[in-house]
């Protein structure tokens, strides 16, 4: 399993880096256009729920495809793997990264503040992933949505000289997406299987 994790992480480096690069371009446009924080917050609460939806699809589909397919387990794994790790990727990690640069930030947990939106989308994603085990396109969308959600978390809930911090933002976006997205979509559901999965071409 450790070897599989390392392989998948390596495969995701180029795509995640490309996603982070698009995030840098978007942030530069947002900052230079002086987009208000409330607009960034609105965009965050569009991207973050969408991220949860596609993450739930992939996580559930992975478990259903390679596991016993028990419904209760699929729901539990799909929910914790999407809502839990998406919250970590989109909010908690950006918050900690901002704090590491001495940027004053507020911590916002979408599954609590917008529970009426995020939780139903998580269960919708679980239903889709359980019914039809599609992974490649939802996973690609998941990575991009997570990158952009993390980006708009910065601009929505913190004030800083972002232009001069863009190199750090690139690194932060990469780290906030790379490991959590691979873990939630690939590693996490496979941890609950009794057998190792070989020859898996998910990336």
Give the pLDDT means over successive 10-residue stretches in the chain (203 positions). 71 85 94 94 96 90 80 92 92 93 91 95 95 77 89 93 92 87 73 58 42
For residue 78, what pLDDT is reported? Answer: 92
For residue 194, what pLDDT is reported? Answer: 60
For residue 43, what pLDDT is reported? Answer: 96
- pTM greater than 0.85: yes
For residue 4, what pLDDT is reported? Answer: 66
DSSP-based three-state secondary structure for 59: helix
The values of phi and psi at residue 158, to 5°, are -150, 155
* Cα distance between residue 179 and residue 5, in whole Å: 10
Of 6, 3, 12, nearest to 203 by C-alpha is 12
* Cα distance between residue 58 and residue 139, in whole Å: 6
For residue 199, what pLDDT is reported? Answer: 44
Are 25 and 166 contacting, i.e. CB atoms less than 8 angstroms apart? Answer: no
The values of phi and psi at residue 105, to 5°, are -135, 155
Per-domain boundaries in the chain: 2-190
* Cα distance between residue 43 and residue 172, in whole Å: 19
Are 196 and 4 contacting, i.e. CB atoms less than 8 angstroms apart? Answer: yes
* Cα distance between residue 177 and residue 22, in whole Å: 13
Radius of gyration of the chain (CA): 17
* Cα distance between residue 81 and residue 103, in whole Å: 29
Retrieve residue 39's tokens: 């607009």
Are 59 and 185 contacting, i.e. CB atoms less than 8 angstroms apart? Answer: yes
For residue 200, what pLDDT is reported? Answer: 46
């Amino acid at each position: 399993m450790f070897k599989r994790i390392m392989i998948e992480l390596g495969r995701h480096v180029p795509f995640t880096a490309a996603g982070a690069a698009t995030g840098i371009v978007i942030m530069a446009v947002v900052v230079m256009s002086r987009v208000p924080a409330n607009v960034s917050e609105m965009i965050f609460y569009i991207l973050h729920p969408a991220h949860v939806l596609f993450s739930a699809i992939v996580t559930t589909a992975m478990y259903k495809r390679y596991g016993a397919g028990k419904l209760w387990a699929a729901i539990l794994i799909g929910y914790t793997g999407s809502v839990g790790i998406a919250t970590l990727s989109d909010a908690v990690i950006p918050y900690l990264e901002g704090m590491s640069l001495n940027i004053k930030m507020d911590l916002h947990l979408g599954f609590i503040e917008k529970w009426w939106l995020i939780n139903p989308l998580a269960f919708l994603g679980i239903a889709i992933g359980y019914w039809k085990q599609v992974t490649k396109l939802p996973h690609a969308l998941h990575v991009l949505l997570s990158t952009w959600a993390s980006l708009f978390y910065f601009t929505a809930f913190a004030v800083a000289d972002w232009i001069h911090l863009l190199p750090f933002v690139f690194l932060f976006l990469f780290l906030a997406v790379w490991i959590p997205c691979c873990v939630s979509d690939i590693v996490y559901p496979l941890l609950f299987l009794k057998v190792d999965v070989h020859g898996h071409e998910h990336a």
